[in-house]
Structure 1
């Protein structure tokens, strides 16, 4: 969508200057995650890159655990929250890869959600 000139409002990165564009492709980590954590997602990516690329090959959940641990350490936090409704269909896989995670499903009355979804 970004490449075709139809950016999604939740994708913050393409709206600010950075090294990636619709023409080059924007890594998923840049679309929403890193811009919500810092005003300079390129610098955070550069700081994370050597730590994460030094990891040995292994299952994807190990890499995500390492990413979340590194972000938590840098932010001084102890929790990772995924708050979009998009992940609802992936709950079985998330539970498989993150058995220690706690899941909370919040929902609202449809009439409250409709204006936000238009």
Structure 2
């Protein structure tokens, strides 16, 4: 069974194997214990301690939602970003939306909440 924990300490992707600071290690240990406790509670018949663990690096937008928009200066550039952690399950529909945008068709959804303009330079 694969169980994912989509939180964690922030790291430098160029130094992903670097030893964590004491504070970050304490946070990671607490998160690990939270995960083991949840597995024991919700999946009582499986071994709660993983046999394999793997860290993933992914990026998310500040509000943890996608960006589906055109570039603010170059309208021929379509932006689809911020999918890490939860985008895969929505990829068929996102592909349709981005495809419609690319060929100039109207999209089936209002995309204002996914616009790049929802961010300003102070929250990027």
| TM-score scaled by length of structure 1 | 0.24
Greater gyration radius: 2
Higher strand proportion, which one?
2
- Under a length normalisation based on structure 2, what TM-score does the superposition of the two structures give? 0.24
The higher-RCO structure (CA 8 Å, 6+ apart) is 2
User: In proportion to residue count, which structure has more helix?
Assistant: 1
